[in-house]
Structure formats: C-alpha cells, structure tokens
Amino acid sequence: MSTFITTDGTEIYYKDWGDPSAPVVTFSHGWPLSSDAWESQMFHLASNGFRVIAHDRRGHGRSSQPWDGNDMDHYADDLAELLEHLEITDAIMIGHSTGGGEVARYIGRHGTSRVKKVVLMGAVTPIMLKSDANPAGLPIDVFDGLRAGYLADRSQFFLDIASGPFFGFNRPGAKVSQGAIQSWWRQGMLTGHKNAYDSIKAFSETDFTEDLKKIDVPTLILHGDDDQIVPIAGSALLAAKLIPNAELKIYPGGSHALGDTSKDELNADLLAFARA
C-alpha cells in the first residue's frame, strides 16, 4: 500500500493512478467514507489523461486512527503534507461534503500556490450549523441526534443513513442499489470509532467563510437540489456568493451522492472542467 507519515506521526494511505507526468487531480472524500468513494471518478479521469490522487483521511479507511487531531485544521495539514510528499503543483482539487471543507480549509491555511482549480461538491461550506449569523443552517439538535444515534448503534446508524437519505433511496421511485449501501456501510465501519464521532463536530461546526474568500482560482460548485445531508440553501447557494467568480451547477433532484446517483453526468462535468 502507498502511505506516508505526517509530522505528528499519523500514517496516511493514498491512491495514485494514471500517468505520473499527467496533470494532477486530487480527491477529498466525505464522512465517514474513504478514497474508495471516488473510484468511479478517479477511473474516468485517469482513463482520459489525468493523474488522480486520493487519500484516506486520518481516522478513516486504511489510514491510522489517532486519538486527537480529528478536526479540519489537521485534515487540511495532512492534505498539504501529501502534496508536498508527492511534489504536486498545479493540482485540480476536488472535495465532497466534509472533503469540500477540507479543501477550503487547506486553501485558507496554505494558499493556492499548489492549486490550479477547485471543485466543491455537496460541500459543508460555509458552515452547516444554524446560528443568528447563519439562519439557513441546521440546528444543533440535528448533530446531537447524529452523535446519539452513532453511539447507540454505530453499525445500524451507518446502515440507516446509506439506506435512506445519503443516496436518496428514501425517495418515491428511487432505484435502490444494495451494493452502494453495502459499500457505504463497509467504508463507514472502517473508520476509527472516536475519529468518526469527533468528525461530526468538525464538519458541522467549522466556519469556512474566510477560507472560501481566499479561493482565487477557477472554482466549480456542484450540488443536488434534493441533497438531504447538506441542504443546498445553507451551503452551495451561500458558498457561490463568497468565492470570487465561482460557477454554480445545480443537479435537479440530485442527492448528496452525486458520484453514484448522477455518476455519468458528474464524470462528464468533472472532465470538462479539468480540461478547460
């Protein structure tokens, strides 16, 4: 397996596919998944002339499970160390959900000297938590409920999310894929118990407003208007106003899992943006 050790001793697993001399696209996954969640998109772009790189976030997948450091600053710094380790410049950075927050925080902390373009898909930016300053957000009770459900029966909790709102399989007429459900559950169960628990706070309460304002490269924001995990009104519609000259594309009826439920359209959109 391809791994490297961060400065705080965390082992990070990553995939590195395609022509080593080709333009680079990096992928940051959502909670509580791993780089496996991006394989369809990675295969498509690598098959069309790109080098694609995706890592398992600390505490997720095949990376190690540190007790501390399960926050956006550490996630962003791990990504920075991966790019340095592989000597990557001019990367097209793609982040989904929590991974979108990771990409935004990376730019907030490390700038865009290694970044050519950005894609935020179903991203948790600018902030998910409702407050007086963010009335479009979700109340803290939602995230407290996630934590309670997780601690009560983590395995069933993951199964319920995958079987329902994540892919939109709870919608009338939805074409349910048991394979997708099982893959999501498997990835979730590979997370460290505390790592995944801590990440709920990280993805819901971190404010990325100032990070988004620092994105000064071409940016594509993709979001499904039926995203039940990260509702579009409190995320993409706001983020598009904070990032200078960002392009927003809304997928009508799209779920949180565009990489699966809108795979062909998403793959085409990502390839077109990468080639532009």
d(CA 160, CA 154): 10
Q: Tell me which residue has tokens 């407290």.
A: 144
In the three-class reduction of DSSP (H, G, I as helix; E, B as strand; rest coil), residue 274 is classed as: helix
Q: Which residues constitute the domain of residue 109?
A: 3-275
Report the domain count for the chain.
1
Checking if the pLDDT of 49 tops 90, the result is yes
Catalytic residue numbers read 97, 227, 256
pLDDT, one tens digit per residue, over 60-88 is: 999 999 999 999 999 999 999 999 999 99
Q: What is residue 1's predicted lDDT score, i.e. its pLDDT?
A: 81
d(CA 180, CA 159): 11
- Predicted TM-score (pTM) of this structure: 0.98
Mean pLDDT, range 117-134, rounded to an integer: 97
DSSP 205-259: H---HHHHHT--S-EEEEEETT-SSS-GGGTHHHHHHHSTT-EEEEETT--S-HH
pLDDT, one tens digit per residue, over 185-213 is: 999 999 999 999 999 999 999 999 999 99
The enclosing domain of 123 has a CATH number of 3.40.50.1820
